[in-house]
Amino acid sequence: MVRNKQVLLKNYVDGFPKESDLEVSSDATISLELPKNESGVVLLKNLYLSCDPMMRNRMTETYLGAYMESFKPGSPLVGVGVSEVVESSHPDFQKGDYVTGYINWEEFSVVRNPQLTKIQHTDVPLSYYTGILGMAGMTAYVGFYEICSAKKGDYFFVSAAAGAVGQLVGQFAKRAGCYVVGSAGSKEKVDLLKNKFGFDDAFNYKEEQDLTATLKRYFPDGIDVYFDNVGGKMLDAVLANMRVQGRIAACGMVSQYNSLQEPEGIYNMSLVIFKSIKILGFTFYHYLHLYPKFYDLILPLLREKKIEYIEDIAEGLEKGPAALLGLFSGKNIGKQLVAVAHD
Amino acid sequence: MVRNKQVLLKNYVDGFPKESDLEVSSDATISLELPKNESGVVLLKNLYLSCDPMMRNRMTETYLGAYMESFKPGSPLVGVGVSEVVESSHPDFQKGDYVTGYINWEEFSVVRNPQLTKIQHTDVPLSYYTGILGMAGMTAYVGFYEICSAKKGDYFFVSAAAGAVGQLVGQFAKRAGCYVVGSAGSKEKVDLLKNKFGFDDAFNYKEEQDLTATLKRYFPDGIDVYFDNVGGKMLDAVLANMRVQGRIAACGMVSQYNSLQEPEGIYNMSLVIFKSIKILGFTFYHYLHLYPKFYDLILPLLREKKIEYIEDIAEGLEKGPAALLGLFSGKNIGKQLVAVAHD
């Protein structure tokens, strides 16, 4: 029996979450031997945990999504992670395998009937499976290639562009021949977009008074495709600047996740009619069959260093709450994850 | 030279339009002979004028759409109409032809370089080309068959269901095997939906306090497809009741057209993400090539009386302003049009 550090939800969250809504607890213990006479069980040593804005929604008592459930107060958070199998009585998993899937925020986990995927490609950093090779990567891939119908020469705008999804989407759009502008929340991020990720232009939305006028300045001829990670006021400003038959890939609304009970209104919806705009909500869950196709694209790009990817790694479970909550004030630069232990 | 009665825009409209914003004028005169030494001209005797909610947007100084321009104060309104050619120096049009297209709201029109379509099928009422065989019909057809991906067994909701577009959409949805509920603004219209148009159910939205709860009652398992003619609060209530991967054909937002400068907010946009909803703005303009396919479907249905269609005909240009403005308080039952003269 060893101590098993965990990050627990302390109480349901209303409004902006605080670190005190979460608790790093060392109270739990776990046996590092598998139960005898029971098969189909794996013992995981957890390595990397993904911080995703959507986890905020699971901290509310009334979960608004369609795919999951609320976290339970007193129980560990759950999110996409990467783990090492340290013991297994399950035929599909062997000691030493690396796996990815939904993982508790804790040092070790015993999992029965695991819904885990064995990691096949280990020549790339394992932490990438929390982001570019995981949910964020697939979200960017599906959103760009299956949803928004972007084509060469399109005026393409992406918000939260330095985030896990945004940085990839922008690079996909550049590779497809679009004119790409991104928004982010600091000068440092704007510099990254322009100088590292190869965006045509970028701006710091926090320095802008009138987002409609800002977008008019960056897109004097209007926007063909908007990849929306933030919702709210930016979405309204984009609607005012969309071109006829423009497409909005609605991927996230991080600006709204802390006020789901009192969301901001969107006031330009009539323009959806007047300009024949399509707003396309999506999730990668409905496209899981495309994982092989996505890996065929992304793995060579990574190996040949033809795509840039930045991670923001918090070391240790103790830093998990701050890392997760930092997403909502834009503290992270690139993909935010927590390293529980290293491979 | 004869008197040429017209309906003029008197001034740009702000808010809810009043009859005094329009003027029925007998000041203009027109020659019933074509100009000599000029070809490509047609003289029209105007018969039927369509009243469309979208005309409201053209009464504002700052036109928000992408396809047309504002009306000019002192000039006649323009809308879809049906006319008889009384003189022609244009090779494509002969005296006695019936044509449809954008027509001034006046008794006679001289048109140079006419953008008019000669009516081929005259065994159906000519007035139908203002509606079921014109813009409303094509809008219903495109919205249903090209946009919203409705399939057998889908839970289908349409607002303004007794209107020109709604009554057709509901019938298309029934023919496709959907479960169809419509909303309208009076008991009489609700009765029509249930008893004449064959909807599975219908309700009077003006009698409902909480539209979200109302829709939950009519669709306990949620809505797959919403055909939106009204926008505003109904759209918000629908978002709360949509099923995962539901589609919203965004056809009109008549509830908002009189407050375009101060529109209502839509507060449930986060659900577009959480439930992978698609909001699909469209206009029939982008599908004009489908007219033959549409006629192949609709003309036999009309001739065999397999589709119901109700017109609300105002007799005489004098009644034009009231007929047009009545759209915004839901006075019309079925397709509103003005008969300037009969064929």
What whole-number distance in Å separates Cα of residue A244 and Cα of residue A226? 13
Token digits for A304? Answer: 């040949």
Coil, helix or strand at residue B83: strand
Q: What is the pLDDT of residues A18-64, one digit of tens each?
A: 999 999 999 999 999 998 889 999 999 999 999 999 899 899 988 87
- Which phi-psi region, left, alpha or beta, contains residue B316 (left: φ > 0; alpha: ψ -120 to 50)? left
Quick one: pLDDT band at residue B275, thresholds 50, 70, 90?
Answer: very high
B283–A contact, CB cutoff 8 A: yes
**Interface predicted TM-score of the whole assembly (ipTM), two decimals:** 0.92
pLDDT computed for residue A255 by the predictor: 84
Q: Read off φ and ψ for residue B47, nearest 5 degrees.
A: -110, -60
What residues in B contact A276, CB-CB < 8 Å?
66, 281-283, 286
Instruction: Say if the Cβ atoms of B274 and A231 lie within 8 Å.
Output: no
Kind of pairing between the strands at B41-50 and B335-339: antiparallel
Percentage of chain A surpassing pLDDT 70? 100
For the segment A106-132, the average pLDDT, to the nearest whole number, is 96
Does position A65 have pLDDT exceeding 90, yes or no? no
Task: Return mean pLDDT, chain B.
Answer: 95
Contacts of B339 (CB under 8 A, 6+ apart): B47, B48, B127, B313, B314, B315, B316
Does position A66 have pLDDT exceeding 80, yes or no? no
Does position B259 have pLDDT exceeding 90, yes or no? no
pLDDT computed for residue A36 by the predictor: 87
Contacts of B293 (CB under 8 A, 6+ apart): none
pLDDT computed for residue B254 by the predictor: 83
For the segment B271-291, the average pLDDT, to the nearest whole number, is 96
How far is it between the farthest Cα atoms of chain A?
Answer: 69
Option in B66, B264, B286 nearest A274 (CB): B66
User: How many Cα atoms within 13 Å fall on the side-chain side of residue B221?
Assistant: 7
Best CA proximity match to B126, nearest among B178, B50, B206, B189: B50
What whole-number distance in Å separates Cα of residue B155 and Cα of residue B132? 24
Kind of pairing between the strands at A201-204 and A179-184: parallel
pLDDT computed for residue A343 by the predictor: 77
Long-range pairs for B219-223: beta carbons < 8 A, 24 or more residues apart:
B219/B155, B219/B157, B219/B181, B221/B155, B222/B155, B222/B246, B223/B155, B223/B156, B223/B157
Q: Which of A12-16, A27-31, A219-223 has the lowest mean pLDDT?
A: A12-16
Token digits for B23? Answer: 């003027």
Does position B207 have pLDDT exceeding 80, yes or no? yes
Amino acid identity at A254: V
Handedness of CA B192, B198, B201, B205 (dihedral sign): negative
For the segment A52-80, the average pLDDT, to the nearest whole number, is 91
For the segment A301-327, the average pLDDT, to the nearest whole number, is 97
Contact B105, B78 (CB under 8 A): yes
pLDDT computed for residue A257 by the predictor: 79
Instruction: Say if the Cβ atoms of A66 and B252 lie within 8 Å.
Output: no
DSSP B285-330: GGGGGGHHHHHHHHHHHHHTT-S---EEEEESGGGHHHHHHHGGGT
For the segment B166-172, the average pLDDT, to the nearest whole number, is 97
What whole-number distance in Å separates Cα of residue B133 and Cα of residue B248? 24
What residues in B contact A245, CB-CB < 8 Å?
286
What whole-number distance in Å separates Cα of residue B197 and Cα of residue B203? 14
For the segment B168-187, the average pLDDT, to the nearest whole number, is 98
Residue of B nearest to A270 (CA): B253
Handedness of CA B328, B331, B333, B335 (dihedral sign): negative
Quick one: pLDDT band at residue A99, thresholds 50, 70, 90?
Answer: very high
Rounded to an integer, what is the distance from CA A266 to the centroid of its chain? 24
Q: What is the pTM of this model?
A: 0.93
pLDDT computed for residue A35 by the predictor: 87
Quick one: pLDDT band at residue A112, thresholds 50, 70, 90?
Answer: very high
What whole-number distance in Å separates Cα of residue A159 and Cα of residue A234? 8
pLDDT computed for residue A64 by the predictor: 77
Q: What is the pLDDT of residues B80-122, one digit of tens each?
A: 999 999 999 999 999 999 999 999 999 999 999 899 999 999 9
**DSSP 8-state assignment for residue A266:** B
Q: What is the pLDDT of residues A122-146, one digit of tens each?
A: 999 999 999 999 999 999 999 999 9
Q: How far is B327 from chain A (nearest CA, A)?
A: 17
Does position B312 have pLDDT exceeding 90, yes or no? yes
Does position B343 have pLDDT exceeding 90, yes or no? no
Percentage of chain B surpassing pLDDT 70? 100
Quick one: pLDDT band at residue B67, thresholds 50, 70, 90?
Answer: confident
Does position B12 have pLDDT exceeding 80, yes or no? yes
Option in B267, B276, B281 nearest A273 (CB): B281
What whole-number distance in Å separates Cα of residue A289 and Cα of residue B84? 58
Contact B12, B60 (CB under 8 A): yes
Best CA proximity match to B248, nearest among B221, B282, B216: B282
DSSP B30-71: E-SSPPTT--SEEEEEEEEEE--GGGGGGGSSS---SS----
Q: What is the pLDDT of residues A246-279, one digit of tens each?
A: 999 999 988 887 777 788 999 999 999 999 999 9
A244–B contact, CB cutoff 8 A: yes
Quick one: pLDDT band at residue A326, thresholds 50, 70, 90?
Answer: very high
B316–A contact, CB cutoff 8 A: no
pLDDT computed for residue A195 by the predictor: 97
